[in-house]
Structure 1
Amino acid sequence: MPSNVYRDYTPPAIDRRINEVLNRRAGDLQNFSTETTREQLEKYKKKRVVRQGLLKTTHRHILDIAAFMLETDSNVLEDGILDKDEYIETFNDFFMEGGRRAVLIYYQPMVPPPFDSGRWTLQLAQNSSFIRCCVTDGSTEKFTGKCIIVYRLNSGMEFGTKQLLQEIYYAYTETDEFFLSNLHAVIALMLRVNVPNIQCNTHWSNVIKNAEIESKRKDKFTEDLADFCKYLERIDEDLQKTVQLEQYPRVLREYLSAEEKIMSYTMNDDAIQELERWLKRTIKSIQKVRYLCLSIFFQSD
């Protein structure tokens, strides 16, 4: 402190400074959460009960059908949906006028219910994965198991029990343990849902007006659809064979992230060896691509 600055050391000034320090500490303590873990769990359980109260007959009707298609109990699906506000909000939006045209009900291995789900236990938290349900529009959760697609064609009305029976449609799909590409999922859905429905459909309306040629046109259409699915399958197989270059390793990302790390990594033998292994694998991949390109070139000749 500069010598020419005067500080008041009279008793009133000292008391004032002490009170200021005490007030600051009191404010810090107010911001600090004093809730115990048990109290927090009770608070989250109450929020879960509130979410449960938002599920109406329309919600449970869809869950009953989804549970039947998934060969499980509707209570299991409901338990998963109650884990997050986001799941309830997505589900509710589906029934509103102008709301979502479709929702996805996932039933798959996921991380155990989080602490704020309202059903967290120490035993559940110790599991690496947990089979549970969620409702999403496909943008928030990764699809890794079974799925019921619930969709409606008319979004210009608010849905009630009557509309559930007349306007709601369901489709089942699941991931394939061998091919997890988006294209393969579309093909599988078409083969499982669209093709059988078209083959058994007897209401072709104005598509076929002449009864004499109805059978031939229907057979021709289903054959064209089957050929189209086979065409997509060949594309998917070609895409699966596409060589993908491996992303550069973590040490290189850290090396490039900050200048001060450059010298430390240049002296790190483990980091250098990891980069060398990555470079060798990348060179082999490039050589493989070059060989495949030459093979295609010679075959075309």
Structure 2
Amino acid sequence: MKPTKKPSKSPSANVPSHLESSAKKMAKFKEARESRRTLLTAAHQYIIEVLASALGLEDTVAEEFVLDSPSLAAFDDFFAKGGAQAIAFAYQESKVPGIECGRTFPGTEEGAKMLRLILANIKQTIFTGRCFFFTRSNVDSAISAKTIHQEIALVELDASGGVLRGQRELLSKIYLPAVSANEDWGILSNTDEGEKIKKAFTSAISNHIDFLEEAQMMIESIKLSKASGIDFSRFVTVEDMKAAGEDVNLMRKYEKVLMMWYKEIDQVLTKSDQIRKENEALGILIELKHWKKMCAEFSSVIEQTKGAEFKAVLNFLSANASKKIKIWQDLEIRLTEHLNEAKDSVKLLSILEKNCQPLYKFNPIAMAKTLQLITDLIFAMGYVSRFCSTPERITLLFIKVTNLMLTGCSAYITDNGSSPIWEQETEVLIKKIQDCMYLLREYQSCFYKTREETLKQMAAGKSIEVSGKPIFGKFRRFCQRLEKISQLMTTVKIFSSLSHANIEGIDFLAEKFQNIYINVKKDQENMLDHGKKAFDDEFAEFTSEINNLVLQLEDFMSSSISKKRSFLHALYLLQRFQKLNIPRLQVEISKNYNLILKRFVSELERVRKHYEFNREDPPLCRNMPPVAGRIRWVRNLLNKIQEPIRNIERNSDILTTTPDKEVVQLYHKTAAEFAEFQKYHHRVWLKEVAELRETLQVAYPKIQELLVSLAPKIQEVYQETKLMQKMGLHISEQAVWISLKAAQL
């Protein structure tokens, strides 16, 4: 008989039943995931794309994270009419989802965590990362894909430091500034009642921010260590405690616990007294936050000292007259004093902080308007609070105000860092610098005025001598730096005219200035930081190089002018240098002008001598008639001296000295003589022409007519008349008649 063959098993028979079950579950979960994917609409995709953009993820990655959720019901509820007003997401470390999400995460261990985007439940999810809330204000209609971008808004909250901290940051840095900056309040605008409502609303936000801050401080406050090794329920009566106090080891245990708490509390108090390194830009705000934190810590410690264990230890040691009780009592007094100081400081600084709000707006003019009130408040704190009644505390508050103003001025000058100094118009920058200097003057005026009034009002024994030196020293140095910046920018603008100067040979000086400008422009970071001396060294070097450039420019100007043979050309060149508008050249321009003026005087004297020598018989051009020739001759002499003096008079700002005026007087005297010479010969000529008309008419009896004589005098009158007309002189009717007759003949 052949052996019986065993039936072969199918491949699936070798697979364990639990693996087969897992595969079926995975297939089922994948099918459910794909089913969820088919439910995604354009509205779903819009939200996914916004989340991906905010997180810097690919749209597909964000979509897969959303599909990890077992249900999309939250979306449906958010989109539906009358549905939820918000839908939340969190991007934070969470457990790696299991196979029920419909996909696997190879390489991850069971229970491991990964950074992922989750569809959150606001009531159940513990937020520890970046949170995103999509909200809508209108639930009367369903959200459609076409209008979703108009119907919903996105709010992001960073809960990495805690939800309370994240909510406070969101309100204080986004919502409160946005509400404060809003100008369109609809029907609330421009009405007294509306203003009250707006202030109440803003105040409510501020109060909620303060509440969140205090709550956060309480959570983070000091926790005293727990006592161990002691059964506090053993002793009820004083007699029991006294009897147990005979046990030396037990007494030591109780004293050790009390000293443990003592050291912890003493450490808190000592730390609060230490000098803090602060952000100067926050000013009074950081001081207020510090005292709020101290108040929360001291209150927390005192509350803990009222606990059952603490009282049990104190009662036990008191019943047994332990020497450690006196040490604790001294510490308790210190703790109470610190708490009272913290509460008092919080109360006063809160009032001061509200009035310091304009200092955060980075506008020196707006800051100046509130300085008197701030100054009055700080001095008032000196005699209404025993904790702020020392010169050191008052000075510290003023220094914080100063630091806040310095930060605001720096932001004002640079448009909050968006406009570097070198990229601004010089006039705009100088105006900003002047505003900052005005703020310092107002600050000093308010301070010294209030200080004097306060000293008069306060009793002699309680007067507080507050020095202005530590308060204004930094601000003064800052303004000194601003003055240097102003000088630097003004100098750069003035000497930039060299690049556009139409003066032959000045190019090498313009190039030299450009090199100076490039070198000083390299460092922009240290310009407003008056604590860094690098800029001062660079400014000193810049000033030295500009001084050398001015000397070279003066030499070049004097050399160029001296080479001009004509004093008129020299004057024109001098005026080109004057148009550069470089104030430091003014002295040298005046010197060169005086030299040119002397050359003009020499020319004027030469012309006068020539006139005096030739006035009786002037040298005339060839074929020039005598009268018109004399007039043209004297006019040419007048033109030689007239154009320079008119040019000088147009620049009357340089005619300031007595010699200048004497030269002008000499010119006017000479010009008057020339004008009189012209008038005299013109007048004589008109008279001669009038007499000549009668003699030029000759009678011929045979033909019984008067005819014009063709004598040479007619030709002369004709020529004179033509020239007189060209020179714009008056022509008589006789001269016109003779000229017409001569032309006809």
Q: Please indicate the TM-score interval, normalised by the length of the shorter structure.
A: 0.5 to 0.7
- 1:296 Cα offset (Å): 5.3
| Residues 1:57 and 2:42 aligned together | yes
- 1:244 Cα offset (Å): 5.5
Partner of 2:87: 103
Change (3 A) 1:90 1:144: same
What is the RMSD of the two structures over their aligned residues, measured on CA atoms? 3.9
Conserved 8 A contact 2:171-2:205 = no
Change (3 A) 1:227 1:153: closer
| Residues 1:197 and 2:181 aligned together | no
| Residues 1:143 and 2:127 aligned together | yes
- 1:135 Cα offset (Å): 1.6
Deviations 1:55-91 (A, max 9, x none): 11111111111222222222222211211224x1112
Conserved 8 A contact 2:165-2:213 = no
Conserved 8 A contact 2:70-2:101 = no
- 1:141 Cα offset (Å): 2.3
Partner of 1:13: none
Partner of 2:548: none
Stretch of structure 1 that moved more, 188-197 or 237-246: 237-246
Partner of 1:156: 140
- The structure whose residues are more often strand, as a share, is 1
Stretch of structure 1 that moved more, 106-115 or 194-203: 194-203
Conserved 8 A contact 2:176-2:202 = no
| Residues 1:79 and 2:64 aligned together | yes
Change (3 A) 1:192 1:75: farther
How far apart, in 1, do the equivalents of 2:206 and 2:116 lie? 37
- 1:44 Cα offset (Å): 1.2
- 1:245 Cα offset (Å): 8.1
- 1:117 Cα offset (Å): 0.9
Match among 151, 156, 177 for residue 167 of structure 1: 151
Instruction: State the secondary structure of the residue aligned to 2:107.
Output: helix
Stretch of structure 1 that moved more, 130-139 or 141-150: 130-139
Computing the radius of gyration from Cα coordinates, the structure with the larger value is 2
Q: TM-score, normalised by structure 1?
A: 0.63
| Residues 1:238 and 2:222 aligned together | no
How far apart, in 2, do the equivalents of 1:82 and 1:193 lie? 32
Conserved 8 A contact 1:77-1:134 = no
Conserved 8 A contact 1:173-1:189 = yes
How far apart, in 2, do the equivalents of 1:234 and 1:125 lie? 39
Conserved 8 A contact 2:130-2:157 = yes
| Residues 1:123 and 2:103 aligned together | no
Conserved 8 A contact 1:171-1:193 = no
Partner of 1:132: 116
Deviations 1:107-136 (A, max 9, x none): 111111212111114424468221211222
Partner of 2:168: 187
How far apart, in 2, do the equivalents of 1:59 and 1:168 lie? 12
Match among 41, 45, 48 for residue 33 of structure 2: 48
How far apart, in 1, do the equivalents of 2:70 and 2:303 lie? 53
How far apart, in 2, do the equivalents of 1:67 and 1:217 lie? 42
Conserved 8 A contact 1:105-1:133 = yes
Conserved 8 A contact 1:80-1:132 = yes
Conserved 8 A contact 1:98-1:155 = yes
Q: TM-score, normalised by structure 2?
A: 0.28
Greater RCO, 1 or 2 (C-alpha within 8 Å, sep 6+): 1
The letter of the residue matching 1:134 is: I
Change (3 A) 1:71 1:193: farther
- 1:94 Cα offset (Å): 0.6
How far apart, in 1, do the equivalents of 2:68 and 2:97 lie? 7
- 1:176 Cα offset (Å): 3.4
Change (3 A) 1:71 1:219: farther
Instruction: State the secondary structure of the residue aligned to 2:31.
Output: helix
The letter of the residue matching 1:92 is: D
Instruction: State the secondary structure of the residue aligned to 2:123.
Output: coil
Match among 65, 75, 83 for residue 91 of structure 1: 75
Deviations 1:122-160 (A, max 9, x none): 424468221211222312322111111100111222111
The letter of the residue matching 1:168 is: I
Change (3 A) 1:142 1:209: same
Change (3 A) 1:119 1:155: same
Conserved 8 A contact 2:68-2:101 = yes
Change (3 A) 1:156 1:244: farther
Conserved 8 A contact 1:106-1:134 = yes
Tell me how many residue pairs correspond in the alignment: 232
How far apart, in 1, do the equivalents of 2:165 and 2:58 lie? 29
- The structure whose residues are more often helix, as a share, is 2
How far apart, in 1, do the equivalents of 2:96 and 2:22 lie? 18
How far apart, in 2, do the equivalents of 1:116 and 1:50 lie? 13
Deviations 1:203-241 (A, max 9, x none): 32122125x9x9x98997898578546633641353134
Instruction: State the secondary structure of the residue aligned to 1:36.
Output: helix
- 1:198 Cα offset (Å): 2.1
Change (3 A) 1:209 1:290: closer
Partner of 2:485: none
Partner of 1:268: none
Q: How does 1:23-34 map to 2 (within 5 A)?
A: none
Conserved 8 A contact 2:89-2:117 = yes
The letter of the residue matching 1:137 is: N
- 1:171 Cα offset (Å): 0.8
How far apart, in 2, do the equivalents of 1:113 and 1:155 lie? 33
Q: Structure 1: state its 5+ residue gaps.
A: 1-31, 248-279
Stretch of structure 1 that moved more, 154-163 or 221-230: 221-230
How far apart, in 1, do the equivalents of 2:61 and 2:177 lie? 29
Change (3 A) 1:126 1:96: same
How far apart, in 2, do the equivalents of 1:284 and 1:296 lie? 13
How far apart, in 2, do the equivalents of 1:201 and 1:70 lie? 29
How far apart, in 1, do the equivalents of 2:96 and 2:128 lie? 15
Instruction: State the secondary structure of the residue aligned to 2:45.
Output: helix
Conserved 8 A contact 1:198-1:222 = no
How far apart, in 1, do the equivalents of 2:138 and 2:104 lie? 38
